[in-house]
Structure 1
C-alpha cells in the first residue's frame, strides 16, 4: 500500500512539474526563459484574462512572491497567472525577443489573450516584445508599474566619470543599466513610438515616495528630486507614455509599487476594462520630460587612494545639505570638517540601492550649514572607489539653472546672486556597456559628438556669489546618444 502511495505521489509530482513548466514561483535566482503557472484559483472564471507578471532589472520572478503577495492576490481574485524569468542584466531587445517567444507559449497554454503586468524595466521589455518581436496578437493590455519609459538619470550617474568607478567595481554596469540611460531611452522612444501598433492599450502607474533619511531609496530619491517627483529610482514623468492611459501617481516607492496588497486593488478595475472604453482614456496628460538642469547637486567620485580628501563649497544662504559618501566598506566612514573646524564623524550608514547595490552609503543631513570650504576625509586602508553626492537646499539653485541656461554656461556671468559662473566639461564615449573612452574637451568647447554611440557628459559649474566671498559648485550629468543617422538623442546639459 505504501509503495502504491509513493508511485501515485511521484506521478502526481511529475504531472504537476510538467504543468507548471519545471518550477515554482520563487526559485532563485531564476533561469531566463522559464515561466511558471501560478496557483489555480478555486473558482476559475474564463471571462477573466490570464495575468503575466514580468520582473525588472536585477530581479527574477520571485519578486512577485518573496515578501510580496501579488501572486496570492491574483489567486484570491480569481485570476489565472504566469510568472516569467528574463535576463536580469540584459537590454530590452534581448529580453524582448525572449519574452515574445514565451508569451506565445503562455497564450497557447491558456488559450486566450493575456494581460501583462511589468515592474520597472519589465514594462520596457514587454513593449519591446510587442513592437519588435510581434507578440502583440497574444496580449490584450499592458500595465506598467514604475517603468522608466524615458530612462532614469540614475543610470546616467552610474555611467558618468565620477559615478562609474564604484558602479564598475560593484559589478552593476550591465547591458540592462546601460540601456536605461536617458539618451539611449530617448533614442528607443524615438524609434519605438513611431512603430507602436498597440496604442491606447498601455496603462501606467507611478510612485511619488522614496522614504525617509537613510532609507533604501533615499540616495536615488535625493538625486532625482531636482528632476521631478520620483519613487527613488524613476521620475513620474519618465513612467508616462503619450499614448498610454497614465492612470495614477500614488504614494508608492519603487519597491512598494509592485506589492500585491498595495497595487492589485488599484489596478484591478483595469483588468476587465475595455481598452476602447471611456474609462480607459488618458486621465493624466503627459508632461514633457524635463530638460532643465538639475543644479542642486555636486558629484565627485573616482578610484580612491588609501587616504582620500575631497572638498566642496557651501554658499551663504544655504538652508541645508545632504551629504552621502558611498564606498564598498561598511566600517569605512568619512570624516567631515566644516569651515569653522567642527568635525562630524558619526554618520548614518545603510546599504545603498539602485544603481549601487552592494555599496554602503554614509550620510548626514545638516541644517543651516556654515558657508565656506568643507572637507571630507576617508581612510579606506586600500585603493577603493568612492562616490560623493552633496545635495544643496539653497536659493542659488534656481539662479544657477537660469544663468547656465541663458549663457550656455559661459565662462563669466553676472546676475542677482551670482558674480561669476564658470564651467568645465568632460565627455566619455561608450562603445558598449563596459568600456568608456574619454573625449578631450576644454572648459569652453562645445561637446564633440562625431561617432555613433553613447556619450556621458559631466559639467562642473563653479562660481562666486555677488558678495565676492562665497564660492559654490554644482554638477550636471547627462547621457546623449548619437544614432546611425547622426541624430542626437537626449538633452545637452547646458
Structure 2
C-alpha cells in the first residue's frame, strides 16, 4: 500500500502526533545496557570516525505501564557513522514508542566503535544480536526500525545470516537501498584529500557507492529470503534549515532528484517493499518521533497490508549545474579560481574543510572583496561526518573569474562544490554502454561549446591505480577498465565557453563496476 503524504496529511500528523506523544507522558530514563556477552567483538575501531562505543552492546528501554502484549519488540538500528544513542539523545522517538505501549531495544553496530563497516559485517553482528534479543524476550517477535544504512544492514542480516525467523516487519527510514551519490563523491579524485583526512573512507562508505549497491541489489533481490519479511519504507524531501548539516548534501544531490540531504527518494525505494510515505523530512528529522504515527500501523505483522513493488524511477539524462574541486590547503592564504558564466541568477558556494579556517573571502572579477559571507556548520552524521561545511550564496554574480581566498591556521584539505542556478540548465546527456566486459563509452552533449573533457578513473579501493583520459576532439570517450568485480570512481571534468565567450566548468562524479562473482 502506497500513500503520498500531502501537506494536509502532514499537518494532521504534526498535530495529532504531538498530542499522541505528549499524552500521559512521563520523563524516561535512558535505556539500560544489557550485560554484554563475551562474543569476541573488538571494541577498537580500525579508523576514527569520532565514536567510542562498544559494537554489539544493546540496550533495553523502560517498560511502559500500558505495554501491549500483542505488540512486537521494537529494535532500533542506527546508520552510517552513528550510534544507538541517536534514538534517545535529542530525539523523542524512544519516548514516542514508549507512550504507544512498545517495549524498545537499541543496538550498537560496528560504526559505533569508531569505524564504519559494510552491510556484511554489520549484518552478521546484527543477526547474532537479534537472536540474543529474541531469547531475552522468550521468542517474542521483533520489528526493526532502521535509519539510513541500518536498513541495508537489516536486510542483509535477515537474508543471509538466518535472522529472518525472529523478525516480523522492517521499517526503513531513508535507507539508501540503491546507494548514495555522496559515497561516490567521497571516492572522487577531488574529495579524496578531505575524505582521507576526516576518515570518511571506511568499508561502510565504500559499500554505499552506487555501483556497489547496484551489484548488491542484483545479488540480493532474487534470494529466497530477501522478502521473507515485510519491508516498509519512508523517504524525505527536505534539506533541513538553510545552511544546516544536511543542506550541503541536499544541494549536491539535487541533480539526482528529490532527496533529504543524504539519500534520494529513488534510492530509498526497496524492490519488493511497500512505500509508506514520502514527506517533508530531512535525513535527521525522519528518525524522530514525528514519523512514528506515519509507520505505527506497519509495525505489527498484519495480513491486511500487501507488499507491492515500489515505483521505479526512470533513468534520466543528468542536468549538471555543479563544479567540484578539492585538494590541499597550505598554512596561510590559498586562492581557488572559480569560473562563473553569464546568465547565472544565483551561485551557491559549498566548501568543506576539516578545520575552521582563520578567514574566507571572495574576490569578484573586478577585484572587489566580499568578506564574511560564509556560514559554517559542523557535519555530525553521514558520509562526511567530522567535516566543517561553509556555505555562501551570491545573487546574480558578475560573470568571469572569481577567487575564493582561504586563510588557514594549519595545513588542511578542502572540497569545494559550486552550484550554478541558470535559466537554461547545462544539459549533459550521458550514455554509458557497458559491453559485458571492461569497456565503457561516454558521450557528452551541450548547447555550449565544450573545449575539453577530462575523465579521472580511480580504483576505489586502490587510489594509486588511477588513469586520466582527456578528450579535446569530440565528446565521445571509450574507457578500458582494469579488472572485473572491481568498483571504479569516474570523475568527469568539463570545460568550455558560452555563446558570449564566458568560461564554464562542470563536474560529474559516479561509480562503475564490471560484473564478477558475488561477494558472498
Aligned partners of 1:396, 1:247: CA distance in 2, in Å? 35
Q: CA deviation at 1:171?
A: 1.8
The residue that corresponds to 2:249 in the other structure is 220
The worse-fitting range, judged by mean Cα deviation, of 360-369 and 472-481 is 360-369
The residue that corresponds to 2:450 in the other structure is 420
The residue that corresponds to 2:344 in the other structure is 318
Q: 1:358-373 maps to which residues of 2 (within 5 A)?
A: 358-373=386-401
Aligned partners of 1:401, 1:486: CA distance in 2, in Å? 33
Aligned partners of 1:213, 1:74: CA distance in 2, in Å? 30
The residue that corresponds to 1:203 in the other structure is 232
Normalised to the residue count of structure 1, the TM-score between the two structures is 0.86
The residue that corresponds to 1:252 in the other structure is 281
The residue that corresponds to 1:380 in the other structure is 408
Aligned partners of 1:258, 1:314: CA distance in 2, in Å? 38
Q: CA deviation at 1:147?
A: 0.5
Normalised to the residue count of structure 2, the TM-score between the two structures is 0.82
Aligned partners of 2:443, 2:172: CA distance in 1, in Å? 42
The residue that corresponds to 1:233 in the other structure is 262
The worse-fitting range, judged by mean Cα deviation, of 167-176 and 89-98 is 167-176
Aligned partners of 1:457, 1:283: CA distance in 2, in Å? 31
User: 1:245/1:167 Cα in 2 relative to 1: closer, same or farther (>3 Å)?
Assistant: same
Alpha carbons 1:219, 1:352 under 8 Å: kept: no
Out of 102, 105, 110, which is 1:79 matched to? 102
Out of 242, 265, 270, which is 2:298 matched to? 270
User: Within the alignment, does 1:179 sit opposite 2:196 as a pair?
Assistant: no
Aligned partners of 1:173, 1:183: CA distance in 2, in Å? 16
User: Within the alignment, does 1:100 sit opposite 2:113 as a pair?
Assistant: no
Out of 291, 296, 301, which is 2:326 matched to? 301
User: Within the alignment, does 1:472 sit opposite 2:465 as a pair?
Assistant: no
The residue that corresponds to 1:113 in the other structure is 141
Aligned partners of 1:82, 1:212: CA distance in 2, in Å? 31
User: Within the alignment, does 1:455 sit opposite 2:488 as a pair?
Assistant: yes
Aligned partners of 1:196, 1:371: CA distance in 2, in Å? 57
Listed one character per residue, the Cα deviations across residues 153-177 of structure 1 (whole Å, up to 9, x for unaligned) are: 1111111110111111112221111
Aligned partners of 1:406, 1:482: CA distance in 2, in Å? 12
Q: CA deviation at 1:76?
A: 1.4
Q: CA deviation at 1:362?
A: 2.3
Larger radius of gyration: 1
Aligned partners of 2:309, 2:177: CA distance in 1, in Å? 18
The residue that corresponds to 1:42 in the other structure is 65
The residue that corresponds to 2:78 in the other structure is 55
Q: CA deviation at 1:273?
A: 5.5
Task: Considering fraction of residues, name the structure with more helix.
Answer: 1
Alpha carbons 1:303, 1:386 under 8 Å: kept: yes
The worse-fitting range, judged by mean Cα deviation, of 337-346 and 127-136 is 337-346
Q: Which runs of 4+ in 1 moved over 3 A?
A: 279-284, 404-411
Out of 102, 115, 118, which is 1:91 matched to? 118
Alpha carbons 2:360, 2:372 under 8 Å: kept: no
Number of aligned residues: 452
Aligned partners of 1:405, 1:192: CA distance in 2, in Å? 26
Q: CA deviation at 1:420?
A: 3.4
Aligned partners of 2:231, 2:240: CA distance in 1, in Å? 28
The residue that corresponds to 2:353 in the other structure is 327
Q: CA deviation at 1:310?
A: 1.8
The residue that corresponds to 1:21 in the other structure is 34
Aligned partners of 1:83, 1:406: CA distance in 2, in Å? 43
Aligned partners of 2:432, 2:101: CA distance in 1, in Å? 57
Q: CA deviation at 1:198?
A: 4.4
Aligned partners of 1:272, 1:479: CA distance in 2, in Å? 38
Q: CA deviation at 1:481?
A: 2.2
Q: Give ranges in structure 2 of 5+ residues lacking alignment.
A: 1-31, 37-50, 434-440, 472-476
Q: CA deviation at 1:381?
A: 4.5
